[in-house]
């Protein structure tokens, strides 16, 4: 979706799109990162904390009720006010009966030009999890998390068959076309690699449209456990993107490409270090 400046408008249009997706047979529906607002992290401004809400809060309560009404699983990313002065970039997962199945708080928080998230968000403290929904076991990570293979692997190890990545990522005005193209290709490539190395489906959900100095590149997609693209949305238009995920493909790929079997967990202890200072 393309976000407007009015949270109430974003919520209403999102509900309309959820209904549209459910009418077309969608069972698990994921919204984009921070769906109620424009991507405010392009600047550091305390006024933007007004977009935060508690859990449960107005938006999540409405969408939990909607999940029950439509009998769909909903992944709802929002700006969480956990306590006064304590905020998270969060996704709440509602099962198809409307129950609050789980909460994920974004673990990796960027601080780059146009993405000043450390000003707003405390890193997540709930770890990497999976959620047994009516329609399958899923994992949820958020945007910057998508660049880290450790996050995908740990979530897959908890039992997830589909990894969802609600996102907000785009091109800055000053970037030349070849750089912009390379950035998008890297974004898609790294997530498709998570699908391959973990034997899972990956669904990445990005916003579209221009906000401030960033044009969000859309191109939401679903990749199969083989890394093949199942579907991809356009770069520049709002889309309800539907994909059928045959979860039997998870077993098939893991049996034929047994990366989990051949992991040498006895020699990976050094991964907990920030950096290794010696070279041979």
Helix (H, G, I), strand (E, B) or coil at 263: coil
Helix (H, G, I), strand (E, B) or coil at 143: helix
Burial of 258 (0-12, 13-18, 19+ CB in 10 A): exposed
Does the annotation count 41 as an active-site position?
Answer: no
Instruction: Quote helix, strand, coil % in the chain, to nearest 5.
Output: 35, 25, 40
* Calpha distance 208→92 (Å, rounded): 22
Helices 58-70 + 7-23 axis angle, to 10: 10
Q: Which of 80, 106, 117, 188 is catalytic?
A: 106
* Calpha distance 162→26 (Å, rounded): 15
Does the annotation count 106 as an active-site position?
Answer: yes
* Calpha distance 32→279 (Å, rounded): 42
**Residue 27, Cβ neighbours under 10 Å: how many?**
17
Does the annotation count 118 as an active-site position?
Answer: no
Q: Which of 30, 33, 41, 245 is catalytic?
A: 33
139 vs 23, 44, 82, 85, 162, CA distance in Å? 24, 30, 22, 28, 6
Q: Which of 80, 143, 188, 211 is catalytic?
A: 143
31 vs 28, 44, 76, 112, 132, CA distance in Å? 10, 24, 6, 24, 19
Q: What is the CA radius of gyration of the chain?
A: 18
Residues 6+ apart with CB under 8 A from 21: 29, 72, 240, 242
Q: Which residues have a catalytic role annotated? A: 33, 106, 143
């Amino acid at each position: 979706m393309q976000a407007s400046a009015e949270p109430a408008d974003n919520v209403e249009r999102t509900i309309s799109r959820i209904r549209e997706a459910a009418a077309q047979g969608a069972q698990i529906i994921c919204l984009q990162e921070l769906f109620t607002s424009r991507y405010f992290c392009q600047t550091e401004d305390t006024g933007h904390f007004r977009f935060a809400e508690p859990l449960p809060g107005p938006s999540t309560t409405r969408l939990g009720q909607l999940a029950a009404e439509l009998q769909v699983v909903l992944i709802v990313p929002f700006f969480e006010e956990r306590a006064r002065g304590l905020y998270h970039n969060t996704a709440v997962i509602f099962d198809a009966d409307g129950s609050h199945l789980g909460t994920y708080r974004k673990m990796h928080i960027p601080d780059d030009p146009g993405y000043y998230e450390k000003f707003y968000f405390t890193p997540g403290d709930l770890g990497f999890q999976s959620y047994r929904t009516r329609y399958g076991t899923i994992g949820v990570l958020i945007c910057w998390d998508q660049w880290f293979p450790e996050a995908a692997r740990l979530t897959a190890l908890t039992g997830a068959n589909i990894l969802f990545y609600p996102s907000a990522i785009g091109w800055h005005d000053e970037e030349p076309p070849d750089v912009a193209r390379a950035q998008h290709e890297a974004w898609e490539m790294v997530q498709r690699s998570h699908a391959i190395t973990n034997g899972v489906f990956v669904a990445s959900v990005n916003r579209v449209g221009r906000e401030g100095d960033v044009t969000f590149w859309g191109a939401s997609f679903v990749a199969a456990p083989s890394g093949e693209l199942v579907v991809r949305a356009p770069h520049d238009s709002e889309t309800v993107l539907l994909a059928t995920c045959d979860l039997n493909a998870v077993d098939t790929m893991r049996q034929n490409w047994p990366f989990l079997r051949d992991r040498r967990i006895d020699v990976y202890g050094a991964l907990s270090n920030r950096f290794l200072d010696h070279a041979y």
